[in-house]
């Protein structure tokens, strides 16, 4: 079982925090248990082991790449606050900026958005795993 047991626990804990609806959360946990012996779970194990290895790397470029990517995405999302202020003062300028940003964001390939979601969930699960093992604070 090894890494598999180590993955299911943190993911189940993550589901408890992320999914507020008890029925939906239980359904997600049931699907996780169904995946336990499948090829998808073995793929997930491989991905998680890579994420854990990256997080524990002594190379600062490797261990900080995932959190840095998340910080960039946070900055992009938080840009909506100053945009709201600009819109209150100069709506036409805000509209032009929004049109430009929408054109830019629409140009980003879908796999990059998928990478963001995978990275975010993987980073969270790896942190949970580290905390459960007592490696991280």
Give the burial class of 2: count Cβ atoms within 10 A of its Cβ; 0-12 exposed, 13-18 middle, 19 or more buried: exposed
- List phi, psi (to 5°) of 134: 80, 10
C-alpha 76, offset from chain centre: 15
Mean pLDDT of the chain: 75
Q: What angle do CA 69, 83, 102 make, to 5 degrees?
A: 65
Give the model confidence (pLDDT) of 11-25 as tens digits: 777 777 777 787 887
- pTM (2 d.p.): 0.36
The residue with greater pLDDT, 71 or 132, is 71
């Amino acid at each position: 079982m090894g890494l598999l047991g180590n993955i299911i626990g943190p993911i189940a804990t993550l589901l408890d925090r992320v999914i507020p609806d008890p029925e939906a959360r239980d359904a997600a946990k049931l699907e996780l248990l169904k995946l336990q012996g499948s090829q998808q779970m073995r793929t997930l194990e491989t991905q998680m082991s890579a994420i854990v290895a990256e997080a524990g790397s002594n190379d600062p470029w490797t261990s900080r790449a995932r959190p840095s990517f998340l910080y960039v995405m946070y900055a992009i999302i938080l840009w909506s606050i100053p945009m709201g202020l600009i819109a209150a003062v100069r709506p036409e300028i805000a509209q032009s900026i929004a049109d430009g940003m929408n054109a830019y964001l629409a140009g980003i390939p879908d796999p990059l958005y998928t990478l963001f979601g995978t990275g975010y969930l993987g980073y969270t699960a790896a942190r949970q795993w580290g905390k459960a093992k007592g490696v991280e604070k």
